[in-house]
Copies of this chain bind each other. A is one copy, B any other.
Amino acid sequence: MTPIRSVGFVGLGIMGKPMARNLLKAGFSLTVASRARAPVDELAAEGAAPRESPGDCAEGRDAVITVLPDSPDSEKVILGENGVLEGASKGAVVIDMSSIAPAVSRKIGGACEAKGVDFLDAPVSGGEPGAISGQLAIMVGGKKDVFARAEPIFQALGKSYVLCGGHGAGNTVKLANQIVVAANIEAVSEALVFARKSGVDPQVAFEAIRGGLAGSKVLEAKAPMMIGGNWEPGFRLRLHQKDLANALTAAKEAEVPLPVTALLQQIVTALVVNGNGDLDHSAIARFIEDMAQTTIRGK
């Protein structure tokens, strides 16, 4: 098996652009394509070769990476007309690093293998800062030998990468991750609104509980945002809405009732419907604040 040297990269959004840049820095030969022209030009100025379509971008490459918003995008860009699979060479690896429905990853993986192209689903966690610093956590689904071949790519993009199972397993674990994160944000929201309306300074409550069993990454990252009334993304609520919807669809297929995830999906939907979709997901707290007619910051 020849090592991966040439990579096609499709999708230069908030996450994709810095990830593509890290591959350039790591010495990969890069072709790039994206819906918007500006990031393509930007990467071209840094040494990437611009391409018009996903299919063009994939042509003759050892690997093709896609970083896209949701399941329909991955399906269209990889399997559609002028898509990645049309251009990809036999024996190439398609690595979809989008966070999408596991069932769609399995479908795309099957279609790739039917044409002699390998496939990995490899969604990431760590947001824009992790994408920029090359410190993403990467959750991978696919075959062991394909995973091993893609390791140099994951090394350039992430601080950790774990093979979680076959096609779709990367996205299954990403959804498990998003379930935990959403519930932990809701937990901190309820605790801090409860403290505020009970007459306790939320900052004091935060400091009193952070060292014990209530301690979490979410508490450390999001409590200060809630206390400051700062909802700058970070990770947008509308993306977490998509993830929770995908989680519930996947859970239905797997025959798992997820009562709290379902409630959270409704809460996040209420927030998005009310115009909060582009706030950070810590703004889940605003739902509890609004219901209690207060704010955690006490204004």
Contact = CB atoms under 8 A, between A and B. Distances in A.
B204 A165 contact: yes
A247 B217 contact: no
Interface string A264-299: 100100000000000000000000100111100000
Interface in A139-194: 139, 159-160, 162, 164-166, 168-169, 172-173, 175-177, 179-184, 186-188, 190-194
Contact of A216 (B173, B186, B218): B218
B172 A198 contact: yes
A104 interface: no
A14 interface: no
Nearest to A195: B176
A199 interface: yes
B162 A179 contact: no
A173 B254 contact: no
Name A's interface SS.
helix
Q: How large is the interface on A (under 10, 10 to 19, 20 to 34, 35 or more residues)?
A: 35 or more
B184 A216 contact: yes
Nearest to A235: B213
Contact of A183 (B159, B186, B192, B255): B186
A108 interface: no
A258 B194 contact: yes
A227 interface: no
A219 interface: yes
Given A162-B207, A180-B188, A213-B221, A102 B198 contact: yes
22 contacts: A126-B212, A139-B209, A162-B204, A164-B201, A173-B209, A177-B212, A179-B190, A179-B194, A180-B216, A181-B213, A183-B187, A183-B260, A184-B214, A187-B187, A190-B258, A197-B251, A199-B254, A212-B217, A214-B218, A216-B217, A257-B288, A259-B263
